[in-house]
A = this chain, B = another copy of it.
Amino acid sequence: MSETVAFIGLGLMGRPMALHLVKAGHTVRVYNRTAAKARSLAEAGATVCATPAEAAQGARVVCTCVGDSPDVREVILGANGVACTAAPGTLIVDHSTIAPSAAQEIERELRARGFRFLDAPLSGGEKGAIEGTLAIMCGGSSEDFEAARPVLSAYGRNLVLVGGPGMGQVAKACNQVLVVNCILGVAEALVLAQKLGADPHKVWSAVKDGAGRSWSLEVLGPKMLADDDSAGFFVKHQQKDVRILLDAARQAGAALPGTALIHQLYRAVQVRGGDECGNQTLYRAIQILSGGEWRPK
């Protein structure tokens, strides 16, 4: 069923997602802070708008994919934001990774004004966005989740309603805790293998299907072994997500000693200018602690 969809935020993730909406036959209205990034969308047939408010005109579903919670608030609730022009009952779906409590606040404000809202953070990276195979973890009502499904299916494969408002963000936070702890294990294991005189490629082969296996070992281990610091997911975004979840954990009284340590270890990468390296460069922090030197290329 084709309909009018607005898409706000055309970054690494948002651009391919909006293109999938066009390909699926929807009438797509887009907005991006840096207008030049909207060009490929215009060529594909989307209407490029000057403000989020303009993009939201006539759209039954509005998707946002921006940075942190102040960005989300601005494009939805700010001057020239989505809420200025969206019709009552419009379903607003936020794909940004923000604090669960911020998503809950935004949901309450929007509901009070007659809008509907889903928090719907993503997993799968730029690759998943380009291939249209993203995992989408949703928080909200089951009615709104079902209403969003035909739109989200254009770029998402594994859509899960985790619970009420904010619970998509909780699942995303947990996902990031899992990811960074696995990465640290891979980094420490491969540095240890080298320091103890083994061929780390052979060690990788020997352990990759055993009880130590993980997505990180399978996908990021080979990048570490190849000295490949290129990004599937930027260090700066990983750190933003971890900062947000550590704040949420503090407020909720959850102690996350491993994840807090990892947040500090990434700093060794950041202070050397590695913000736009891939999250596997946590490996460099372990190498540095173990006597190595490193600068991003």
Contact = CB atoms under 8 A, between A and B. Distances in A.
Interface of A: 100, 123-125, 135, 137, 158, 160, 162-163, 166-167, 170-171, 173-182, 184-186, 188-193, 195-199, 202-203, 205-207, 209-217, 219, 245, 248-249, 252-259, 261-262, 265, 286, 289-291
Given A177-B189, A180-B185, A203-B170, A210 B257 contact: no
Nearest to A159: B206
Given A185-B180, A190-B174, A203-B171, A195 B137 contact: no
Nearest to A209: B158
17 contacts: A158-B209, A160-B205, A160-B206, A162-B206, A167-B198, A173-B192, A174-B193, A178-B185, A178-B214, A182-B185, A191-B255, A214-B214, A214-B215, A214-B216, A254-B290, A255-B286, A257-B286
A31 B255 CA distance: 47
A210 B216 CA distance: 10
Nearest to A246: B192
B211 A179 contact: yes
Contact of A181 (B125, B191, B258): B258
A11 B170 CA distance: 43
Given A124-B210, A177-B212, A178-B186, 12 more contacts: A160-B202, A170-B193, A174-B198, A175-B189, A175-B211, A176-B212, A177-B188, A177-B192, A178-B185, A178-B207, A178-B213, A258-B258
Contacts of A137: 206-207
A210 B175 contact: yes
